[in-house]
Structure 1
């Protein structure tokens, strides 16, 4: 199997990981200094959010040059050193690719907006004002809206037309119907692949093509009465537009020119649409599966979705799972809030530990978000300190849509600024109030800590074929709060994962599966003695366990085994 199938991906938001030059912003040399820490997490690849030159109106997702490094993060030489140092430790490096839009400061757009007859004019989506009375800047071409709030059109007075953007107005959308745009983007990919990058996470890959007729999008009949304008329309002409799969196949073909490279696409779609982005094994190696982020923390709901997802995967399609990223509130905050977990620094019954056990034992590739391994939570950011353009553009939804809370500096130790930056520096975002208690140094030597629990999970997953590549079979103990499943592969030990997502303890009787006894390998509760022999046992609220059974072959099965 490929490295991206059996391995674990770890996302680094570089502004917040480690600052090496005391300017309050993380950088590439900071990441290099933490590679041994990352290696000790038993991960296999790091995905680095954008580090390209950018005016930072959307913190790097507004790219001004696809083939260089922003001085804030370092230089190309620093990146090459990071790549070499990571590879020497057996770590792969995945870059964020942002092909849907550029910065307004990109040379392509500077030329495009210079005049209507510039050769690069149609690299972007330009439209005349709609017919009618009133100033031209008020006559929008259609009703398209941005994800950040507001109309998707900005008027350019110098040329008398609107340009289209689905995010911030400083992020004009590329026109992939122009014959030169995709080849230029493919060359940008080759620039990094030639340097040795192992793959790309592709930003909003399903949005790259727009309706050729620029038709109004229809009303959403399911929108709430108080929904924001973006949610009041169905995005059938700006997302998943016919022809998008051909673009992705051409991107995949570039990756296939190189050995062992991969592409994972950011796609927020229902499962039946999501899986179409595997193509016939010629599109995304993995379309990101974000459903665990959006589903309620409920065993039956999650179990039903796992079955639906597994059943929808095309032949050869490899699953993947995500619990958090730079755009979503932290998993520890979400599950602790849903379960009303009372002990901020407690380990017993912490649902955040249970969430990591779920992520790291499901079939498929897990992607972890920096800081989740120590249980970092969202940090409340007051509006006056808000940096996120999506929140600033719709301040009435600031607390709901703001992304700063999950992007705060990594908590390395109890020193001033948590070891993220020099004591005299000012971090670009505020630190968590609990960083002196919740940090890497405090947890490193504590066998009961979240960090060491995470390491135990990743070590077990790495060592056991059933957990890193085996099949998935669900198990029903007849308890609504309990999610349970087998991970099996012929010729190796098999594993039974039992997760109690509820607030009460439950008796788990292995005899129900025809099993006399099993070896309990790991529990979310450090007070439980493991490894040990289990037959029937009480599973506490918010506790999960992993049990090992002797290996079997396809023909050597028992009652209760899949």
Structure 2
């Protein structure tokens, strides 16, 4: 099943910027809005049409901006509203639109709503958040939380507020209290702040953990925690009973009145859930970020994401093919290897050694960009930036890393050296080390002291070097973005995995077809990618009388021999 219509949100590639780590303009060591503006020509050269900005709102930065204290003000470290308006204007001149990060499952505990809410049970803002009486009291008088949920960043998802003698819910940090979406006034507040930014001219929203906004109002215990799990209880809040009602209302009241791009971050979803959130006929979101392919290298020992286990390509193919097939023609995929919460793809799914880094980065890009969906490029991905290893947890800044260290190392469950290996493989700071612009001091990111240590490989991996090398990862990404505008089959074509979809057998090569539909019927793209450092022999059928090599990460073609990390795409015409 397929749909040959190209909708406006489906064509562009989205480039994600983590503002704190992109470009500092004033020497304070923190990236900012003028810094982003100064790099728009670089992004225009790459071919970017949409930028997604991670949060730039006023925040005390407990979770690097995902704890918002004022949705209508700019974080002072990032600049002013005038700086944002200038960024918006200069981006528009280059044909680039700006998508904002909408974080409305929770606020900061320093938001005026929460400050008022915790002041009194009678506050008009009390019902803006989720408050519950204790389940009882221990012998020493310590209040017992309403249920056993574990938050993402602390032992319990409930925090006791002694002044009013109730717990409030926080699925993340204690400084990120969850909003109560059951309250229609809260929903109207959210819709109003969305209109504020859309009326300014932003082009849409990436919605942070948006499928957590509706909770089962009985707040049942998490059976996994009861069985001894130390992992968070987000699954208990995901895909709640009214989430589709809330998103349909958001669309009807706000989004449908603007030309927007919307993508929801949705942990704990299946492809069937994806059809509900992003189905073409659903009137909710245009696409979602799912995490199933991000779990293929999860810990075999029950530590969740914390692992240095190498993924199995068969698992990766099975997951990605399932999402391609199940959503194909009925909903829209988002395609990503990297973001601000994930380790660097070339270290995780490729090979970041000096010999293979460039080839494997190009291979991964080819594999992803030719699937059906909207590709997302995370800052530095177009340079082949890599993971970093720090020899002490004190050199990391991420809240999640330090919470995990306390949970597993300080309790004696995991040895420190082993945990440092896990952090290097899986930690979020891998994505947050500053952008590597040049081989100069601090990689051209800042003239001051960077807020997070740089990856020491910036001397060899940086934008200045990439722009001077016609065979760099940068120019390969540039070519991929150009091809997307030239080859509609990349957008609308159906997907066919050249392996057993349910149980792939080839653990070395990822190969698939894109079949043209509508005006492109009779065209077929054959995508082949060698995920190993060994030469392999693979033969594939001919899918038309005319064949051309559309793109390759090698300068020549050895036909049925796939060299180490080789990726190539043939275009067939009948």
Query: Is 1:291 equivalent to 2:318 in the alignment?
Result: no
Q: Which runs of 5+ in 1 are unaligned?
A: 551-556, 558-562
Q: Offset at 1:515?
A: 5.2
Of residues 364, 371, 375 in structure 2, which corresponds to 1:366?
375
1:514/1:549 Cα in 2 relative to 1: closer, same or farther (>3 Å)? closer
- Work out which of the residue numbers 505, 528, 536 in structure 1 matches 2:535: 505
Alignment partner of 1:418 is 2:443 = yes
Deviations 1:245-288 (A, max 9, x none): 11111122244343321211001223233332225421111011
Contact 1:137–1:155 at 8 Å: present in 2 too? no
Distance in 2 (alpha carbons) for counterparts of 1:259 and 1:234:
31
Distance across 2 between alignment mates of 1:474 and 1:377: 29
Q: Do the aligned residues in 2 keep the contact of 1:293 with 1:322 (CA within 8 Å)?
A: no
- CA offsets, 1:94-139, max 9 Å, x none? 1000000000110000100011111111111111222244355442
Shift, 1:242, TM fit: 0.5
Matches within 5 A, 1:271-310: 271-278=271-278, 280-295=281-296, 297-310=311-324
Q: 1:486 aligns with which of 513, 516, 531?
A: 513
Hey, what's the Cα distance between the residues in 1 that align with 2:275 and 2:90?
Answer: 35
- Contact 1:505–1:538 (Cα < 8 Å) also in 2: yes
Distance 1:105 1:253 in 2: 31
**1:344 aligns to what?**
354
Q: Distance in 2 between matches of 1:219 and 1:445?
A: 53
In 2, Cα distance between equivalents of 1:3 and 1:45: 12
Partner of 2:416: none
- Report if aligned partners of 2:69, 2:112 keep a CA contact under 8 Å in 1: yes
| Cα deviation digits, residues 142-188 of structure 1 (max 9, x gap) | 11110123101111111111111011101111111122111111101
Structure 2: distance between partners of 1:199 and 1:514? 39
Alignment equivalent of 1:391, drawn from 383, 389, 401? 401
Flag structure 2 segments of 5+ consecutive residues without an equivalent: 1-5, 298-310, 409-418
- 1:471–1:342 distance in 2 versus 1, CA, 3 Å: closer
Distance change in 2, residues 1:255/1:118 (3 Å): closer
Matched, 1:100 2:105: yes
Residue range with higher mean Cα deviation, 304-313 or 89-98: 304-313
Give TM-score, length-normalised by structure 1.
0.89
- 2:214 corresponds to 1:176: no
2: distance between equivalents of 1:10 and 1:234?
27
**Which residue in 2 is equivalent to 1:258?**
257
Asked if structure 2 preserves the Cα contact closer than 8 Å seen for 1:523 and 1:544, the reply is yes
User: CA contact under 8 A between 1:7 and 1:468: conserved in structure 2?
Assistant: no
1:115 to 113, 120, 126: 120
Q: CA RMSD in A?
A: 2.4
Q: Are positions 1:74 and 2:73 aligned together?
A: no
> Would you say 1:9 and 2:23 are equivalent positions?
no
Secondary structure of the corresponding residue to residue 5 of structure 1: coil
State whether residues 462 and 468 of structure 1, in contact with CA within 8 Å, keep that contact through their aligned partners in structure 2.
no
Q: Counterpart of 1:553?
A: none
Shift of 1:484: 1.9
C-alpha deviations, 1:373-413, integer Å up to 9, x for none?
Answer: 11111222431122211222231456446422220100001
Tell me, in whole angstroms, the C-alpha distance in 2 between the residues paired with 1:12 and 1:98.
16
Q: Which residue of 1 aligns with 2:150?
A: 145
Question: Alpha carbons of 1:342 and 1:108: their partners in 2 closer, same or farther (altered >3 Å)?
Answer: closer
CA distance in 2, matches of 1:386, 1:157: 33
Q: Which residue, 228, 231, 242 being the options, matches 2:230?
A: 228
Number of the residue aligned with 2:243: 244
* Alpha-carbon distance change, 260 to 189 in structure 1, aligned in 2, over 3 angstroms: same
The correspondence for 1:37, drawn from 42, 48, 55, is 42
Deviation at 1:314, TM superposition (A): 7.3
Question: Do the aligned partners of residues 128 and 501 (structure 1) sit closer, same or farther apart at CA in structure 2, a change above 3 Å counting?
Answer: same
Seen in structure 2, the aligned counterparts of structure 1 residues 206 and 347 have a Cα distance that, compared at 3 Å, is: closer
Match of 2:335 among 304, 307, 321: 321
TM-score, normalising length from structure 2? 0.87
Query: Secondary structure of the residue that 1:248 maps to in structure 2?
Result: helix
**SS of alignment partner, residue 163 of structure 1:** strand
CA distance in 2, matches of 1:294, 1:420: 32
